[in-house]
Structure 1
């Protein structure tokens, strides 16, 4: 069966790429080229390519649906996200246009489409890099993801305009979609946590969103994104996104296989890709200086720019629709950019530490949206993390009369907790410069309630390295994580589920009013 050949090639070369420290999708593209080279011997025909085309389209719809699930206005509607994303897209497209027209001898329309495709950065790669480093919720991670979502929305607009399709009158019903939100919320609540949840996501992304929008003359990609956005405010949106992650990734393998099967790269394609790879640092510099212009600190600007230093699979999607003859050269450019970006991001924090003395003076002399405290004032207790556990600990101790301060790396959470009357500041526990400058002379105890285990380990270690001798307590889900946190310097680590069970038992004993009776 030819499907077995696809899977074997994709797995084998994907695994090889991963062993080399590269994103597996580089291997998938290589598998496509291998299938193109040996297609006749392996029996790969036109029908097989059509099957892959269908699978890749499903992968793109699921990708956009999961992007929609992350469309939270609090993280997206920020000057550095919208301004940085739009300005970079416009400036990058304009800067790339003249050399493309000059050296490739293209008309301005074709050259513009190519420059637009090269202006996007990879949502898949950036998300995986940030997730692997546990930085998705750090300030620079949120900025990078926000910019990528802005770019994804631009990509949909570009494809819709370039296709030139006129929607039917029924397309006006799209404006009534927000009225469906209560129904969609109920469906999500009723779907449980297993296969029904996955089926609900597939139905909304592929059937209701994709096919529904196509039926009224709109882009199926826009439909998938719209239905994801309708569910973004639901408390289980993240769970739905996680449940679809593997399905989406498998379908996207078909997208990269299809590109490779489309044809082997020639010398011209290779030269084009090498030139585009050489121009990648310009993308980094443009992002960096734009973020500085929007008052970010140099560290946040540098790490956000590093995450966005690549070309995008969305560029491939745009080109596959508008200029399919350029798909192979652009795909090769994306591959080279992924190789460079993977290695750059691997050492980006260390690179910044070496360049910090040169980059910090470039910051604007004003208050930064990612400003971190240098003193914790008169507070006695520091609570790090303003999730449910952090808020509960803060409110309990505040009721006992203690002077408290809390830190969180999520700007939206900081604003929310501050509006509720808590003393909360923004800070990233994994930022080395934060710990170097922090003054906490009055702090007697620190409570670590961050969700990320690595952040709690780093915070425990940095607190002890600073010479803090007070009480450090944390919570953890698993015993092995608890041991790591205590080895890093925490005095006590409480197992969340164990403590919850003990609390339930304590309440039962109190209701029974006294010790157990033995009859």
Structure 2
């Protein structure tokens, strides 16, 4: 019995890891999003796919999920981690820059669509609490799918970003509302709801007060250890503790995870927390999407093909029409409104989360949840086709789009300084003196804290992590300056930056000529050896003291620097010996 259980667990683990490590990269090769990939894999290996053939072909037990319900706790934890990272990603600075679009267009779009869907479902006989949950869920659009397709710089991308940002913010009150309505879903009145609301608000207020003072100290201590394991443990402690706190008063644990993410987002450690949690969130979310795919019964779809098709078309058409009209009323051009409306029409992966929360709160029946999960899964799967359709229709509606509409109120193009010790501070001072915006990143929490107290724009983070610099908007950075005194790390980071951003200027600090040569070989735009600069500065001081005019001295210094740089790039080393020998012979 014990051996059979272990075999079952190992088989399920093999399928999950196989999906994450083999199948999903294969989908990515054909530019199919992992969200769709996980759903399709779940459909394939679930009880309604190959799983139903296990009795006829016993060997299939090794490539199917034998007990889908055993994955439910992991799927729920994946939802918690996803909502936690949504909280981490919300930036108040970015929201303020786009405040008119986010809180104008975004709010109007979500409220209008959700109320229309709620009204339609109520007319079809759905109780108002369930209709409200479904309306809010189906009104959401996929940040994970839409933004990679539209970008954030085009008019379509900027319009979509404003609505998606508001939806991310709205997740907090939506989940809070569903959790508050949970005990009273099948009751006609609101008896007891007030108690849940005031207790929930009290817990959230206590979390925000305690978190404001405790979290920076907790993560500062974790950062001083410079151990990713300690940072991960602290992050999980905050997520799980917050989730338990809100669930203890009758709210969904997702509410606690969101609040925890928002609180950590206000600290200087949010980038590092997000980087460390990203792999776990991705895998846990993958398990959740697998369970969604395993819950899709193709026979049910076939038997209910007409209702499902009507639901999919109705949701897509309603969202596209309302979004397009609102964009036109806000001043968008016809092509932008049309393409954005069609692209934003499909449901979101967050729709699945809200549906799961609504089902958990008993606002909707399991069969209803499964029906709309199928509708959502189909909508997610055809989102790339909707993007293509939107572009084709937009070109017919308006052949020449205006690229200037929906610009952000602010656009930050900041130089990124990696390492904020003695050299990094000097670089920051020089950039500030010439009114050039910058942001510095360092893995030393004490150094970052001191720098922030002194007015520097510094953040805590490990630049060697894949997404640490991307969160600093490296895509729009005019340059990256590597100032840390770690030769191997500088070479690795230079190579990674050059591979990922071929046109990005990378200026790196080098210890000597040999190190500078390595940096050039790894793709540095400029490598500055400390020994060379010290020699040139010493020469400059001596020549000026000897009475040589400053202008010729500076010109000769620049010429010698260019000569040395060319020598390093071509030969790899600086060799002073030939010059010394020649001069000795000449003097003789």
Q: TM-score, normalised by structure 1?
A: 0.67
* Conservation of the 8 A alpha-carbon contact between 2:158 and 2:406: no
Distance 1:230 1:335 in 2: 32
Q: Is the 8 A contact 1:66 1:241 kept in 2?
A: yes
- In structure 1, the residue matched to 2:413 is 385
Q: Does 1:32 align with 2:20?
A: no
Match of 1:258 among 244, 267, 291: 291
In 2, Cα distance between the equivalents of 1:328 and 1:295? 39
The answer (yes or no) to whether the contact 2:79–2:285 under 8 Å persists in 1 is: yes
Partners in 2 of 1:117 and 1:318 — Cα distance? 5
Following the alignment from structure 1 to structure 2, what is the Cα–Cα distance between the partners of residues 273 and 391? Answer: 58
Residues 247 and 391 (structure 1 numbering): CA distance in 2 closer, same or farther, change over 3 Å? same
The superposition leaves residues 441-476 of structure 1 with CA deviations (integer Å, 9 ceiling, x where unpaired) of xxxxxxxxx95458979xxxxxxxxxxxxxxxxx99
2:68 alignment partner, one of 45, 49, 58: 49
In structure 1, stretches of 5+ residues that fail to align are 374-382, 399-403, 407-419, 421-449, 458-474, 486-492
Preserved CA contact (<8 Å) 1:61 1:224? yes
Q: Secondary structure at 2:84's aligned position in 1?
A: helix
Match of 1:446?
none
- Go from structure 1 to structure 2 and tell me whether the alpha carbon gap of 1:142 and 1:159 turns closer, same or farther (over 3 Å shift): same
Q: Render the CA deviation track for 1:168-194: whole Å, top value 9, x for unaligned.
A: 859624313234324312333333373
* Counterparts in 2 of 1:20 and 1:179: CA distance versus 1, 3 Å: same
**Per-residue deviation, 1:209:** 1.4
Counterpart Cα distance in 2 of 1:393 and 1:343? 49
Q: 1:391 to 1:84 in 2, by over 3 A?
A: farther
Q: Which moved more, 1:350-359 or 1:118-127?
A: 350-359
Alpha-carbon shift at residue 74 of structure 1 (Å): 3.0
Show the counterpart of 1:336.
Answer: 378
Aligned to 2:250, the other structure's residue is in SS state coil
Measured in 1, the distance between the counterparts of 2:430 and 2:399 equals 38
Distance 1:452 1:51 in 2: 41
**Structure 2 partner of 1:495:** 507
> Does 2:95 align with 1:76?
yes
Partners of 1:117 and 1:310 in 2: how far apart?
Answer: 11
Query: Which structure 2 residues correspond to residues 337-486 of structure 1 after superposition, within 5 A?
Result: 337-345=379-387, 352=394, 355-356=397-398, 370=407, 385-387=413-415, 395-397=432-434, 451-453=473-475, 478-479=497-498, 484=503
- Contact preservation (8 Å) 2:88, 2:265: yes
Distance 2:40 2:251 in 1: 33
User: Which has the higher Rg, Structure 1 or Structure 2?
Assistant: 2
Counterpart of 1:162? 181
1:476/1:272 Cα in 2 relative to 1: closer, same or farther (>3 Å)? farther
Aligned pairs for 1:289-328 (under 5 A) are 289-294=325-330, 305=341, 308-320=344-356, 321=359, 322-323=363-364, 324-328=366-370
Q: What is the deviation of 1:227?
A: 1.0
Does residue 1:276 correspond to 2:302, yes or no? no
* 8 Å Cα contact 2:320/2:344 also seen in 1: yes
What's 1:199 paired with?
Answer: 233
Cα 1:330/1:508, change in 2 over 3 Å: farther
Alignment partner, residue 168 of structure 2: 149
Are the counterparts in 1 of residues 90 and 169 from structure 2 also a CA contact under 8 Å? no
Point out where structure 2 has 5 or more consecutive residues left out of the alignment. Answer: 1-9, 55-59, 184-192, 418-426, 438-454, 456-471, 480-493, 510-523, 544-575, 581-588
Distance 1:514 1:55, change over 3 A: farther
| 1:121-159 deviation line (CA, Å, top 9, x unaligned) | 22333355467x888997446424412313322431332
Secondary structure of 1:120's match? coil
Change (3 A) 1:371 1:199: closer
Q: What is residue 204 of structure 2 aligned with on the other side?
A: 174
- Find the counterpart in structure 1 of residue 515 from structure 2: none
Distance 1:157 1:126, change over 3 A: farther
Distance 1:297 1:325 in 2: 42
The CA RMSD over aligned residues, in Å, is: 4.7
Deviation at 1:55, TM superposition (A): 0.5
Are positions 1:126 and 2:159 aligned together?
A: no
User: Who is 1:95 aligned against?
Assistant: 116
Following TM superposition, by how much is the alpha carbon of 1:80 offset from its aligned partner in structure 2, in angstroms? 1.9
Moved more, 307-316 or 350-359: 350-359
CA distance in 2, matches of 1:48, 1:501: 57
Post-superposition shift, 1:81? 1.1
CA contact (8 A) 1:274 1:336 kept: no
Residue 117 (structure 1) aligns with: 137
Task: Give me the whole-angstrom Cα distance separating, in 1, the residues matched to 2:338 and 2:495.
Answer: 32
Change (3 A) 1:109 1:235: closer
**Paired residue for 2:261?**
228
Match of 2:557 in 1: none
Q: Quote the Cα distance in structure 1 between the aligned partners of 2:526 and 2:503.
A: 21
- Post-superposition shift, 1:311? 0.4
